[in-house]
Amino acid sequence: MASADWRFGVIFLFEIGIGASGNLALLCHYCILCCRGCRPRSTDVILRHLTVANTLAILSRGIPETMAAFGMEGFLSDAGCKPVFYAHRVGRGASMGSTCLLSVFQAVGIGPRRSRGAELKAKALNHIGSSSALCWGLHMPLSVRVPVLGSDTGVNGNITETVDFQCCSATLPDKDKASLFGVLTLSHDILCLELMVWASGSTVFILFRHKQRVHHLHSHKISSRPSPETRATQSIVILVCAFVSFHALSSIIYFLFPLHYETAWWLVKTSAVSNACFPTAGPLILLSREQCVSRVIWKK
């Protein structure tokens, strides 16, 4: 076993352990709140979908990559290879979509209650569940092309243009088709990144205005602790930076992958690691973010 494989195996194990634990902790956090009789918020539905999508994205790619890195190569048959890659693409897409939905509905929900758009806000919040289901429904057909390309290493070892994932391999189409699919995937990712930045920026702006009003009302009180608005803003900025950085890197690698399959081994490993970065770190950031934003919402 090469030293590089061993190092990647350790990284995958770390992401699986931290990612699965973080998503489980986030899910348990809201289950405990519900058991204590706390009023559930409308965005809790999205968080449940997000934890499922994150876990699917981490485990579907992380477990096969870890097993392959520690020497168990070619253990997936064609029937097992295609569902694994399909599940990973669906999980990754649903994770990105759910995170964007969470930020958008968070911005809508934290807005002023007495405004001309209050009726529109109420209608939008009533469609959170259907929006989450639509997110899954869109990414399932969009990812169908992935299992079409997947193939077993042992069966298709004589194909010239294949990429060896160690656990299995994939045949590559011609570069024109690969570029077209890469552009479509990149467009989807850019749209998600733009929505995330816009929604989070709107939330930060609303929190800033709320902090100014509270500071004006309580200007005689001096506190050394940062306000809930400040902590919420910090966590939102961290979440956006992590989301944009990890997914931008993953999208660029995914776009370059079909065009540089000769050196695809490093792209395969780097793509697998970067794809699991946000599903691993996101729940830990969201745990602190949700607590801070909750305090702001309840105080308004």
Q: What is the pLDDT of residues 176-211, one digit of tens each?
A: 666 677 777 778 888 888 898 898 888 888 877 777
Which of 145, 150, 147 minimizes the C-alpha distance to 178? 145
When pLDDT is cut at 50, 70 and 90, the band that residue 64 belongs to is confident
> Can you give the pTM of this predicted structure?
0.80
Q: Tell me the average pLDDT across 263-275.
A: 78
Q: Tell me the average pLDDT across 263-274.
A: 77
Cα–Cα separations (whole angstroms), residue 178 to 145, 146, 189, 266, 270: 11, 12, 16, 19, 19
Q: Is the pLDDT reported for residue 115 higher than 90? A: no
Q: Which residue has the tokens 């690691």?
A: 273
End-to-end CA distance of the chain: 58
Residue 259 and residue 175 in contact, taking contact as beta carbons nearer than 8 Å:
yes
Give me the domains of the chain, ranges plus CATH numbers.
3-299 (1.20.1070.10)
The CA-based dihedral angle spanning residues 146, 151, 153, 156, taken in that order and rounded to the nearest 10 degrees: -130
pLDDT digits (tens, 9 = 90+) for 1-48: 555 677 888 898 999 999 999 999 888 887 887 777 667 677 788 888
Q: b/e for 6-45, b at 16 or more Cβ within 10 A? A: eebbebbbebbebbbebbeebbebbeebeeeeeeebbbbb
Q: Tell me the average pLDDT across 105-127.
A: 71
pLDDT of residue 183: 76
Which sign, positive or negative, has the C-alpha torsion 117, 122, 123, 125?
positive
Token pair recorded at residue 242: 């992590």
CA distance 5 to 274: 16
Instruction: Output the average pLDDT for the chain.
Output: 76
Q: b/e for 100-132, b at 16 or more Cβ within 10 A? A: bbbbbbbbbbbeeeeeeeeeebeebeeebeebb
| Residues above pLDDT 90, as percent of the chain | 12
pLDDT of residue 86: 87
pLDDT: which is higher, 35 or 157: 35
Q: Is the pLDDT reported for residue 62 higher than 70? A: yes
pLDDT of residue 85: 83
